[in-house]
Amino acid sequence: MRTLIFDTDIGVDDAFALAYAARTQHLLGITTVFGNVPVGQAVKNARLFCGKMAIEAEVYRGCSRPLAPSAPAALHGQDGLGDAFENEYSDRAPGAVQFIIDSVRAQPHQITLVAIGPLTNIATAINQAPDIIPLVKELVIMGGAFGTDGHSGNVTPFSEFNIWKDPHAADQVLTSALKVVVIPLDVTHKVLISGEEVQRLNQPVLSAICRPYLAYSLAKEGFSGMALHDTLAVAWLTLPQAFTLTDSPLRVITEGIACGQTVRKLSALASRQDPFAGLPAQRVALGVDADAVRAHFFATLTAP
Ligand code: BDR
Ligand code: CA
């Protein structure tokens, strides 16, 4: 069991991941960030979801905008949690970035950061306090797309949502000396849950929040279901043997038509300019045993 700071722009799949993390890890705190919803709504959503699911964790308020400007999107309902519940919770909360910095300093080499939204809080924390970089046990990111088996972007043909929302933050984080594991669309698109399976989890809150998401996928793709995306970042902690990783320096394209694209160093051929020169190798998951992850997720969520 790891001690986690769970960094989220909490929408529907984030909520599934949080339910899974709460049952498998020790949650030190939930830090919120803009992304699927504005950050104030993310604070309210995290509190609402924790209240409904009896998850005990303090919620912190993080960054409200990317390091440099970008654009909006919505699939998780207006409120990010399927518009399923009235939400009277406050959007005021202590600062997420300071919480990350203080926690990592207080527990060096003990804290795993799980980041399943834009990387703005993490980038801001390491900009403000670079001394924490070697003290973080590990940073697990759901984000990016490297084109394995045709799994490219989900916002643009090149770019995955979390990275595209703040490509500058992502480039800083991926090129830093943090020990990063990236869980991209290459693997998250392979681990699906159908509407029927959601019902079988027998978790009324999860069923309620994913209703619009499932209706959208049925209308658009003729399949009522969704990728478990953010849950895969937690699954890396519970079932690392289910993932195939490759090591490579990584970058993010921060402008132009491919803005938000994640790229890895593929060739050892000498080039005149090397955007990867001197960068540490990060770990990227390009393969997953989807059945193993699904089975563990179902068993965990249906356990009494
Ligand atoms: C990611 O985008 C968000 O909408 C999901 O919550 C997930 O973190 C998938 O690209
Ligand atoms: Ca997310």
pLDDT tens digits along 131-161: 999 999 999 999 999 998 887 899 999 999 9
pLDDT at position 26 over 60: yes
Does the Cβ of 230 fall within 6 Å of ligand 1?
yes
**Least confidently predicted of 52-56, 104-108, 123-127, 215-219:** 215-219
Q: What percent of the chain has pLDDT over 70?
A: 97
Report the nearest atom of ligand 1 relative to the CA of 75. 4
Query: If you measure from the C-alpha of residue 8 to the centroid of ligand 2, how many angstroms do you get, rounded to a whole number?
Result: 6
In testing the pocket of ligand 1, which one of 7, 191, 229 has its CB within 8 Å of the most ligand atoms? 229
- Report the C-alpha gap between 20 and 297 in whole angstroms: 7
pLDDT band of residue 219 (cuts 50, 70, 90) is confident
What pLDDT was estimated at residue 77?
77
- Nearest C-alpha neighbor of 44 from the set 1, 2, 8: 8
> What is the 10 CA–ligand 2 centroid distance (Å)?
6
- pLDDT recorded at residue 244: 98
pLDDT attached to residue 69: 65
Atom number of ligand 1 nearest to Cα 155:
10
Strand, coil or helix: what is 101? helix
Report residue 99 as tokens.
Answer: 């919480």
Higher pLDDT, 182 or 213: 182
- CATH 3.90.245.10 correct for 3-302: yes
How many Å lie between the centroid of ligand 1 and the Cα of residue 230?
A: 7
Output the residue whose Cα is nearest ligand 1's atom 5.
Answer: 13
172 in ligand 1 pocket by Cβ < 6 Å?
no
Residue 229 is among the residues annotated as catalytic for this protein: yes
Q: What local confidence, expressed as pLDDT, does residue 74 receive? A: 56
Confidence of residue 75 (pLDDT cuts 50, 70, 90): low
Nearest-10 Cα torsion for 211, 184, 292, 218: 30
**pLDDT value of position 70:** 55
Q: Name the average pLDDT for the chain.
A: 94
Out of 67-71, 80-84, 297-301, the most confident range is 297-301
The answer on pLDDT for 274 being more than 60 is yes
263 DSSP β-pair partners: 251
Q: Examine the pLDDT at 178 and tell me if it is beyond 90.
A: yes
Confidence label for 221 from pLDDT (cuts 50, 70 and 90): confident
Question: Pick the catalytic residue: 26, 109, 229, 296?
Answer: 229
- Cα–Cα distance for residue pair 79/1, rounded to 1 Å: 31
- Which pLDDT value is given to residue 288? 98
pLDDT the model gives residue 68: 82
What digits encode the pLDDT tens for the residues 222-271?
A: 888 999 999 999 999 999 999 999 999 999 999 999 999 999 988 766 67
Q: How many CB atoms lie within 10 A of CB 51?
A: 13
**Would you say the CB of residue 36 lies under 6 angstroms from ligand 1?**
yes
Ligand nearest to the CA of 74: 1
Instruction: Name beta bridge partners: 8.
Output: 32
CA–chain centroid gap for 117, Å, is 5
Sheet holding 138-142, edge to edge: 59-60, 26-32, 3-8, 111-115, 138-142, 180-183, 282-288, 243-248
From the CB of 162, is ligand 1 less than 6 Å away?
yes
**pLDDT over 80 at 73, yes or no:** no
Q: Which residue in the block uniquely carries the two structure tokens 């990728």?
A: 227
Query: What ranges do the domains of the chain cover?
Result: 3-302
- Determine the pLDDT at residue 267: 73
Nearest ligand to the C-alpha of residue 9? Answer: 2
Q: If pLDDT is split at 50, 70 and 90, which confidence band does 292 have?
A: very high
How would you label 138-157 residue by residue, b for 16+ Cβ within 10 Å and e otherwise? bbbbbbbbbbbeebbbbbbe
